[in-house]
Structure 1
């Protein structure tokens, strides 16, 4: 399946899911909120459909996808954060998730998300010090 076909599939699936939402819910949303909802549905469906398409695509020589590596990195970050949250005898003893002694900063992970893009996968990381990061994961070999 080429990129245009995949994009059309995701768009069709996004609109199909949107059509399942009752009008009473959609009527309560502003135009920008409706648009945001479509983007969120699209972002949620993209990695799911990409994995299904990739798994059934017999022409794939490389079984490890960028989405798999991004999921691995995300799981490592989540596990690290969980271990930090469980450490120490009380909340004040627990280490922060991200610490830089060189720059004198520390923060906790507020949110972590994965999004498929044309060139690979991106991980979005938001910290409680209001900084945000986008980590790109791209396959460099076929």
Structure 2
């Protein structure tokens, strides 16, 4: 399955799920909230469908989305270990520490989204800084 076919599959699945949401729920949302809901459905379905396609396509090399998922899992695992360490909340280290720059912060959220050239990871920190990390395949 090529990227265009996969994108069409995700779009069709997103709209199919959207039609299952009762109108009473959708009517209570502003236009921007409806758009956000579609993006969230799309983002949730993308890795599920990608995994299903990857399992059935044995000639398919590792994708950028797989590597992005690995990076997200590593960050989430690191944050969880920091949150579980120490005897009390004040003893726990921040998720992100830069001794060189003298900064530290906790990870507030991590999300990923497939784009035409690969996958982007969105990382929002507790100090209100946000980052977009792009994962692209450089060879297949």
Normalized against structure 2, the TM-score is what? 0.90
Residues 64-112 of structure 1: CA deviation (Å, up to 9, x unaligned): 2222222221121112111211222221111111111111111001111
What displacement does 1:114 show?
1.9
Tell me the distance in 2 between the aligned counterparts of 1:101 and 1:6.
43
Alpha-carbon distance in 1 for matches of 2:38, 2:26: 11
Alpha-carbon distance, 1:51 to partner: 2.3
- For structure 1, the residue ranges without an aligned partner over 5 or more in a row are none
2:117 & 2:5 partners in 1: Cα distance? 16
Q: Are 2:114 and 1:116 equivalent residues in the alignment? A: yes
Aligned residues: 140
Other-structure match for 1:93: 91
- Secondary structure class of the residue paired with 1:21: coil
How far apart in 2 are the matches of 1:98 and 1:115?
Answer: 22
**Hey, what does 1:127 align to over in structure 2?**
125
- Cα distance between partner residues in 2 of 1:67 and 1:2: 14
Report the Cα distance in structure 1 between the residues aligned to 2:101 and 2:45, rounded to whole angstroms: 38
1:40 has 2:22 as partner: no
The CA distance in 2 between the partners of 1:47 and 1:116, in whole Å, is 9
Q: Distance in 2 between matches of 1:13 and 1:66?
A: 21
- Give the 4+ runs in structure 1 shifted more than 3 A: none
Are 2:82 and 1:84 aligned? yes
CA distance in 1: counterparts of 2:118 and 2:33, whole angstroms: 27
Shift of the 100–44 alpha-carbon distance from structure 1 to 2, 3 Å rule, reads same
Shift of 1:6: 2.0
Q: What's the Cα RMSD here? A: 1.5
SS at match of 2:139: coil
Q: Deviations 1:11-52 (Å, cap 9, x if unpaired)?
A: 111110000001111111112211221121112212222222
